[in-house]
Structure 1
């Protein structure tokens, strides 16, 4: 039998690029020529780049680190900074900020120089992981790697906005201009978004005009959408449509986020016919529904008590299905209308529909069941909620325990408190205060002590 021709470094790169399965690609990288394992394989820099990128995107971080260690020892290669920037980004996506920092610090050991590019990448990684104090601390070292650019300032401005420090964000905006760093659309977009969130609309529109006038920058769809959200928030729908018309004149393509904002605002204002016209315009403009559109429509149909149409949206009649937010809205309305049995059925059907319940789902259903005094069903939901690592709101849990006490359902109360103490570890002082005040009454002293003994032993 003829011996297979050995794979060359060039051929390995081609195979790695075409391999879709990162696990198979990793094994191929480690053992490209298993029949000649006694010879060390001289991997190309491209092969290193390809496999590190594949493993990082697949969140196979231990395997990625194994390849990085090999690359670190392979002194034939001077590792390009962008490759290590990708590694920093992969750690950020995995919410491992300390590993991102370690990678940044280790860049010189890969025979590579740290520049503003890797500095900005680390800054953004820390922002992604919401390490705001670390962002501030690192920002003080910006000058070590070159003069801060627009990317640097955009990250710092965004960090300030996310912390609620709008004044600091505008200080940074003034600083970047004083240093001759030109703001871009991302800079204005972040600031306008923050102003609209705080209903500082006059300042937001002034900033938009400054962007046009002083920097000759055109507004993007995101900026206009934030402005529309801001005016819809205060009920100025005619103003919102003027902004939309301005977008059309400028040739900007309206997206689903913008249409969803307008449709939702019109529904909330009781202008259903106008909302449906905008929905039709959305279709005619070739803009497809997304999960948010479904959520908006579910909310409107539920407000009308038209649950049949809401179910149709839930079933994906428009070619797209809602996300967990849409299910939570639906469950909330079913519970509000006393349709707790239907709510339970929908809750149990969510996994089959490809939507996993979240903490809001459990809390919505638990609160709804308690409101309609379906305590045994509420206990089942509570038990599953705690098993998933979630917990109800303290005030609602206390109220639930109080209702059980008032009802005199000590058997169910004992089960609940035992579960809270042994599984969830969320039995707070308020709950015990409620229990002691309700069960320790003269006429209930014997059974009260029996209950407390059982709870202590649980």
Structure 2
């Protein structure tokens, strides 16, 4: 007689769930922990088991199944769920761009006999920020009194939202409100505001705020604050002040990262001072700051702007020798430089060489090359790139499509135009603008058979 399988304990279930990588199998295991369940003795799940299965389902974006588990959790009376479980769920919804579900979860926390604290509020604010739900964030800000007392993190998130909207007035309003409520701003608060001001070329205000944070609030600027100011100064070509700020960082022993040096290198190229780049690289080395892909890309971009491709490839070689693998941004910069200079053959060769260099082209690579080929009137090559783009589920910019179709219409190249429209149709990329460009040419053309086929292609989209 076969021995019946042993029942597993709640502790054993948690162990098995932790080891199971497949979320579907984990869900099946959770719902059916014992092969021969006793209807008079229901299985007693542990809180850890709920936490584990909810996490696995959330990461897999199996939200309907996760809701099923939550509904079951609500019926538990042996324990009270921890707030961190709901924070994780809200975070999953934020990453999936599902703000309404994140809000619903936050509102439901008390129904699980769990107290909402500032942790779940800040998690909700972060989720709404990820979803760019600025109106909902403002509603929460206006109704602060209905929520757990906001802390500095809460205000920092709202200030960040104002800066992302380029509504610095709103960000400043939040900053003033936090002081009225006795919440002390920290370095993140000032860093966010200063970055927003620099991004909007309000450098005088940014420097006044830096001075205020030091003198009034006794908060020391960190690397992010300095990097924002250096970037803002370089943007308006104030290189002397930017280098002074870099020296101030060294004097105050603020850790200098590659971002600051890379920004200065880009600015030097832009100002026509590439000979000074060597000095910046030397200073990087002296301060123990190793050049990374951002630094090398800044140099490659600078040389490409000057059409000095030998120097650009020299940087690429140096990059590889130093063990810094060139990324797709690096190749996109080089291909873009070749295209702007009219060196389309070199751009195509580099594009075709990318897989051998173990770097896959991305949508920017394809768009850059396609646009360059269109500008260079290389229609046959552009058609091949377009077809490959559509196959990879990429799409060129609308402006490039319009330009390409216009050029083919002016050249009266119905055969290639038909090929292009077929490719666009595969990707559902034919819009009203394309219609308007193509129809007049078709109506005027005397090759009626081709025109008929062309119209059929348009009508099928």
Same fold (TM over 0.5): yes
Q: What is the 5 A alignment of 1:331-342? A: 331-342=335-346
Give the C-alpha shift of residue 157 in structure 1: 1.5
Residue 260 of structure 1 corresponds to: 262
Give the C-alpha shift of residue 197 in structure 1: 0.7
Residue 309 of structure 1 corresponds to: 314
Give the C-alpha shift of residue 388 in structure 1: 4.0
Q: Residues 45 and 436 of structure 1: is their aligned pair in 2 closer, same or farther, counting only changes over 3 Å?
A: closer
Question: Which deviations, in whole Å up to 9, do the C-alpha atoms of 1:288-338 show, x marking residues without a partner?
Answer: 443322321321343422253254267x43323344332221111122233
Q: Residues 290 and 426 of structure 1: is their aligned pair in 2 closer, same or farther, counting only changes over 3 Å?
A: farther
Give the C-alpha shift of residue 412 in structure 1: 0.6
Residue 348 of structure 2 corresponds to: 344
Question: Which deviations, in whole Å up to 9, do the C-alpha atoms of 1:212-261 show, x marking residues without a partner?
Answer: 11111111111111011011111222211221222222222111222221
Q: Residues 159 and 396 of structure 1: is their aligned pair in 2 closer, same or farther, counting only changes over 3 Å?
A: same
Q: Residues 283 and 49 of structure 1: is their aligned pair in 2 closer, same or farther, counting only changes over 3 Å?
A: farther
Residue 426 of structure 1 corresponds to: 430
Give the C-alpha shift of residue 422 in structure 1: 5.7
Residue 30 of structure 2 corresponds to: 30
Question: Which deviations, in whole Å up to 9, do the C-alpha atoms of 1:100-120 show, x marking residues without a partner?
Answer: 122112212222122333222
Residue 453 of structure 2 corresponds to: 454
Residue 217 of structure 2 corresponds to: 215
Give the C-alpha shift of residue 25 in structure 1: 9.1
Give the C-alpha shift of residue 390 in structure 1: 3.9
- SS state of the match for residue 319, structure 1? coil
Q: Does the CA contact (< 8 Å) of 1:81 and 1:112 recur in 2? A: yes
Q: What is the 5 A alignment of 1:381-396? A: 381-396=385-400
Residue 165 of structure 1 corresponds to: 167
Q: Residues 371 and 6 of structure 1: is their aligned pair in 2 closer, same or farther, counting only changes over 3 Å?
A: same
Residue 321 of structure 1 corresponds to: 325
Gapped runs of 5+ residues in structure 2?
A: none
Q: What is the 5 A alignment of 1:353-392? A: 353=357, 355-392=359-396
Give the C-alpha shift of residue 78 in structure 1: 0.6
Residue 111 of structure 1 corresponds to: 113
Match of 1:87 among 86, 89, 99: 89
Q: Does the CA contact (< 8 Å) of 1:313 and 1:321 recur in 2? A: no
Residue 407 of structure 1 corresponds to: 411
Q: Residues 102 and 33 of structure 1: is their aligned pair in 2 closer, same or farther, counting only changes over 3 Å?
A: closer
- How many positions carry a matched residue from both structures? 451
Residue 191 of structure 1 corresponds to: 193
User: More displaced, 154-163 or 50-59?
Assistant: 50-59
Give the C-alpha shift of residue 400 in structure 1: 1.8
Residue 48 of structure 2 corresponds to: 46
- Supply the distance in 2 between the matched residues of 1:33 and 1:397 (Cα, whole angstroms): 56
Q: Does the CA contact (< 8 Å) of 2:386 and 2:423 recur in 1? A: no
- Supply the distance in 2 between the matched residues of 1:219 and 1:436 (Cα, whole angstroms): 61
Give the C-alpha shift of residue 389 in structure 1: 4.2
User: More displaced, 346-355 or 240-249?
Assistant: 346-355
- Supply the distance in 2 between the matched residues of 1:98 and 1:352 (Cα, whole angstroms): 45
Q: Does the CA contact (< 8 Å) of 2:27 and 2:53 recur in 1? A: no
Q: What is the 5 A alignment of 1:107-256? A: 107-256=109-258
Q: Residues 68 and 235 of structure 1: is their aligned pair in 2 closer, same or farther, counting only changes over 3 Å?
A: same
Give the C-alpha shift of residue 209 in structure 1: 0.9
- Supply the distance in 2 between the matched residues of 1:63 and 1:111 (Cα, whole angstroms): 22
User: More displaced, 242-251 or 185-194?
Assistant: 242-251
Match of 2:272 among 270, 273, 281: 270
Give the C-alpha shift of residue 457 in structure 1: 2.2
Q: Residues 369 and 11 of structure 1: is their aligned pair in 2 closer, same or farther, counting only changes over 3 Å?
A: same
- Supply the distance in 2 between the matched residues of 1:371 and 1:238 (Cα, whole angstroms): 38
Question: Which deviations, in whole Å up to 9, do the C-alpha atoms of 1:244-283 show, x marking residues without a partner?
Answer: 2222222221112222212222232233343233223334
Q: Does the CA contact (< 8 Å) of 1:228 and 1:240 recur in 2? A: yes
Q: Does the CA contact (< 8 Å) of 1:301 and 1:310 recur in 2? A: no
Residue 297 of structure 2 corresponds to: 295
With structure 1 as the length reference, what TM-score do the two structures score?
A: 0.86
- Supply the distance in 2 between the matched residues of 1:20 and 1:192 (Cα, whole angstroms): 46
Give the C-alpha shift of residue 453 in structure 1: 1.4
Residue 416 of structure 1 corresponds to: 420
Give the C-alpha shift of residue 15 in structure 1: 6.7
CA RMSD of aligned residues (A): 3.2
